[in-house]
Amino acid sequence: TIILGIESSCDETGIGIVRLESDGSLTLLADEVASSVEQHARFGGVVPEVASRAHLEALVPSVTRAFATAELELSDVDAIAVTCGPGLAGALLVGVSAAKAYSAALGVPLYGANHLPGHVAADTLEHGPLPAPCLALLVSGGHTQLLRVDDLATKITEVGSTIDDAAGEAYDKVARILGLPYPGGPPIDKAARRGNPDAIRFPRGLTGPRDAPYDFSFSGLKTAVARWVETHDDLPVDDVAASFQEAVADVLTAKAVRAATELGIGTMVVSGGVAANSRLSALARERCAEAGIELRVPKPRLCTDNGAMIAALGAHLVAAGVSPSALDLSASPGLPVSIVSV
């Protein structure tokens, strides 16, 4: 069974092709990503109109390239999955409209898929089926959540989430404060390797005894970095980056391990763009090993936005026998994580 996945929720146009094998395993056949990130860099964030236009230009050529790579024809497709939310309305609509057109033209079922479980599904392309239940730490540009995943296709429950900024958003804002380019994750990760993570003790949000144990807060950390920078004459960028990164990785891994332990869950998946962070995965590995939790982190290319993860989630929906979407499927910019398919 061949699944075409289409992703256009933010600034990456992603086209993935996955084969669902008869034993339920997935084979990744193509993963094309066209990013408009450079067009947004000078604005320090994604400009929705620019992103929509870029998706419109990139989508069909990306589909053509993906089928060339997979050595398949469009007529080989058995089902289509498309991100219908959450994300930017105009950007989502480009992918949803294209997916509906392909679905109608090819006469194959269409699945409106949630981008957030998609990030978790990315891991199954690399490490195989997820045991149930597992705990997902979803850390991306717009979301930071702890999820109990009983079934990737049908049952996801939010255990905790950020009450303000997402982890990726904190990276992007702190990069701006430090004069590093957008998006901030990769340059901070790089600078931090040269810096001392113990140089400055930045606050760990919501870690007091009366705080919600599984929720996160990163806006105080961002403000603390801004204040530190304002009140010091020299700016040791590498040390500030390393100390900031340590605070983020510390609080994310501590809370995720605590949740897995207290909920009795033996497997943790870290996914989303920030899962590409070298310190986060290293610290998660250390702490999960200590706690006896099996850790799964997809490779960086599968952590950031891509179409393969949507094709993977589509394959899980097909395998689980979930009903396809109606042809009036539309974009759902605020889609909650618990609604895996629309």
| DSSP-derived 3-state class of residue 31 | strand
Of residues 186-205, which lie at the interface with ligand ATP (CB under 6 A)?
A: 186, 189
Judged by CB under 6 A, which of 85, 273, 307, 324 binds ligand ATP? 273
DSSP 68: H
Q: State the binding string over 73-102 for ligand ATP (x if CB under 6 A, else -).
A: --------------x---------------
Decide whether 166 or 225 has the Cβ nearer to Fe ion.
166
- Structure tokens given for 262: 């207290």
| DSSP-derived 3-state class of residue 271 | strand
| Cβ pair 182, 45 in contact under 8 A | yes
Query: Does residue 11 touch Mg ion according to CB under 5 A?
Result: yes
Decide whether 70 or 139 has the Cβ nearer to ligand ATP.
139
| Cβ pair 249, 115 in contact under 8 A | no
Query: Does residue 189 touch Mg ion according to CB under 5 A?
Result: no
164 is in an annotated binding site: no
Neighbours of 227 (CB within 10 A): 11
Decide whether 142 or 324 has the Cβ nearer to ligand ATP.
142
Decide whether 100 or 119 has the Cβ nearer to ligand ATP.
119
Decide whether 264 or 334 has the Cβ nearer to ligand ATP.
334
Residues lying near Fe ion in the complex (CB under 5 A): 140, 305
Which residue type is seen at 151? D
Compute the least distance from the CB of residue 140 to ligand ATP, in Å: 3
Query: Does residue 169 touch Mg ion according to CB under 5 A?
Result: no
138 is in an annotated binding site: yes
Q: Read out DSSP for 106-175? A: HT--EEEEEHHHHHHHHHHHHH-SPPSSEEEEEE-SS-EEEEEEEETTTEEEEEEEBSS--HHHHHHHHH
| DSSP-derived 3-state class of residue 104 | helix
142 is in an annotated binding site: yes
Q: Read out DSSP for 171-203? A: HHHHHHHTTPPSS-HHHHHHHHTTS-TTSS---
Query: Annotated binding residues for Fe cation, as ranges?
Result: 115, 119, 305
- What does the binding site for ligand ATP look like in residue numbers (CB under 6 A)? 9-10, 87, 115, 140-143, 168, 171-172, 183-186, 189, 272-274, 276-277, 304-305
Residues at the binding site for substrate are: 138-142, 172, 185, 189, 277
Q: Which residues form the interface with Mg ion (CB under 5 A)?
A: 10-12
